[in-house]
């Protein structure tokens, strides 16, 4: 059996954040519906930016995640200092997302075939990004942290918890779309969002298994305990 190559978990963190943000940009450009996880933040961004043009998608992301972090602590009935690093990650992700959104604005979106490709690439990149983030001790975004902590606390399979969480996020996105833009009007939440919600957990599980088969994730620096206090 071939020896697995070493992969530093700190690098997995950076790869996960950038890949996840890139996947979100591709899905946004496809305009078939963004990822169910970011759908609530995207709808908040669309609504608020219409009144405050300086309010970005990234800002909406880390603002919403701050609220979710508070809710997670209530649900799990515990708080760790390491959880606060997830907000730092949310800000980092938001900055990367805003930068890539600017670059993504140059991608043509008037050809249907290109949009289909954008969507497929976006879903794949989002799944890869989350799979990498599940393999690092560095605090992931609050979205992934919630799934990770919930599955660890109750011993549930992480990809199944992820699927349920994604479906709930999708439902919240639909509710916000109706509330902000009118009943039965779908903004940001479309058929692509539904499809992503159904297959994302499965893809993450398969990609994660493939990563574990190829790499041995280990720490470069002895900082793990700082994130689990």
Domain that holds residue 85: 7-220
Question: For the chain, how far is it from start to end, CA to CA, in angstroms?
Answer: 37
> Residue 224 — very low, low, confident or very high, per pLDDT cuts 50/70/90?
low
**Count of residues for the chain?**
229
Residue 229 is assigned to a structural domain of this protein: no
Mean pLDDT of 80-89: 83
Residue range 153-162, pLDDT digits in tens = 777 777 778 7
Residue 77 is assigned to a structural domain of this protein: yes
> Residue 148 — very low, low, confident or very high, per pLDDT cuts 50/70/90?
confident
Here the contacts of 110-118 (C-beta below 8 Å, separation 24 or greater) are: 115/29, 115/30, 115/31, 115/32, 116/30, 118/26, 118/27, 118/29, 118/30
Residue 38 is assigned to a structural domain of this protein: yes
Q: How far apart are CA 158 and CA 166, in angstroms?
A: 12
Residue 217's DSSP bridge partners are 7
Residue range 195-219, pLDDT digits in tens = 887 888 789 889 999 999 888 888 8
Could you tell me the pTM of the whole model? 0.84
Per-residue 3-state assignment (H helix, E strand, C coil) for 104-158 = HCCCCCCCHHHHHHHHHHHHHHHHHHHHHHCCCCCCCCHHHHHHHHHHHHHCCCH
Residue 201 is assigned to a structural domain of this protein: yes
Residue 226 is assigned to a structural domain of this protein: no
Residue 2 is assigned to a structural domain of this protein: no
Count of the separate structural domains present in the chain: 1
> Residue 84 — very low, low, confident or very high, per pLDDT cuts 50/70/90?
confident
Share of the chain above pLDDT 70, in %: 96
Residue 227 has pLDDT above 70, yes or no: no
Residue carrying structure tokens 């954008």: 118
Beta strands in the chain (DSSP E): 5-8, 215-218
């Amino acid at each position: 059996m071939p020896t697995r190559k070493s992969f530093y978990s700190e690098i997995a963190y950076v790869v996960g954040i950038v890949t996840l943000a890139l996947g979100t940009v591709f899905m946004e450009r496809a305009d078939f519906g963004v990822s169910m996880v970011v759908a609530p933040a995207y709808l908040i961004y669309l609504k608020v930016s219409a009144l405050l043009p300086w309010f970005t998608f990234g800002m909406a992301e880390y603002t919403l995640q701050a609220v979710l972090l508070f809710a997670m602590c209530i649900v799990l009935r515990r708080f760790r200092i390491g959880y606060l690093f997830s907000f730092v990650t949310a800000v980092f992700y938001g900055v990367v997302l805003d930068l890539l959104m600017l670059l993504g604005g140059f991608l043509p979106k008037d050809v249907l075939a290109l949009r289909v490709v954008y969507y497929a690439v976006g879903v794949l990149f989002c799944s890869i990004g989350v799979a990498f983030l599940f393999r690092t001790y560095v605090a992931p975004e609050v979205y992934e942290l919630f799934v990770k902590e919930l599955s660890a606390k109750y011993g549930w399979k992480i990809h199944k918890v992820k699927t349920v969480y994604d479906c709930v996020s999708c439902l919240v996105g639909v509710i916000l779309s109706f509330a902000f833009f009118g009943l039965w009007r779908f903004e940001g939440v479309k058929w692509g969002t539904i499809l992503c919600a159904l297959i994302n957990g499965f893809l993450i599980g398969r990609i994660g298994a493939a990563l574990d088969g190829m790499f041995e994730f280990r720490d470069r620096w002895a900082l793990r305990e700082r994130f689990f206090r």
